[in-house]
Amino acid sequence: QTFEGHSDHVNAVVFSPDGKLVASASNDKTVRLWDPATGESCGVLKGHSNIVSAVVFSPDGKLADRSCVDDTGRTNRNGTGESCGVLEGHSDVVSAVVFSPDGKLVASASHDNTVRLWDVIQKSTIQVIHTGARLKHLAFSDPTFPPPLFVTDSWVTWNMKKILFLPWDYRPSSSAAAKDNILVLGHQSGRVTFMCF
């Protein structure tokens, strides 16, 4: 399936922990929620004045945390789109965000060459790590990383074996996998593509 809705480059896509929702973040200043089973739009989260560069669900699936080129992170309740707070502190573009497995912490990477560790409840910085580089991806330690279904360069891989070559027009700007057999790709055109293996 291919879902149309974004009007610009898709920067990030992610499945909810239960696999029932997909969120996509775009240069069109929105985060869109999708039902991967039906292809229907489940809502649009707005509120940033600039590009949304990353999106992630909390482990309980109730919060989507998104980062924006205006150097803030916002948390929202999925059902209502109601804002739950803003994380401020980076001095440049926020390029990646991730929740800890217990949902109590958020890590964010920025073009200011730092990673910040946040307390989700207090909305405060716990630690600032100076990386000396711009990071695009973050992860809390996870013994199953990378997942069995994964996109690397121009290939879809299964257990690190190349199984599907992606032509130039189909190479994603972001990707996510769920339930080991469903892959979602975000594209520069604004398309979001789902593949079932």
Percent of the chain with pLDDT over 90: 2
Amino acid in position 33: L
- The structural domains of the chain, ordered by start, are 10-63+88-196 (2.40.128.630)
Q: Are 174 and 12 in contact (CB under 8 A)?
A: yes
DSSP codes joined into one string, 76-125: EETTT--EEEEEE--SS-EEEEEE-TTSSEEEEEETTSEEEEEETTTTEE
* pLDDT value, residue 82: 46
Q: Tens digit of pLDDT for each residue in 64-75? A: 544 544 444 545
Confidence of residue 117 (pLDDT cuts 50, 70, 90): confident
Which tokens belong to 86?
């803003």
| Over residues 136-152, mean pLDDT | 70
What mean pLDDT comes out for the span 119-140? 77
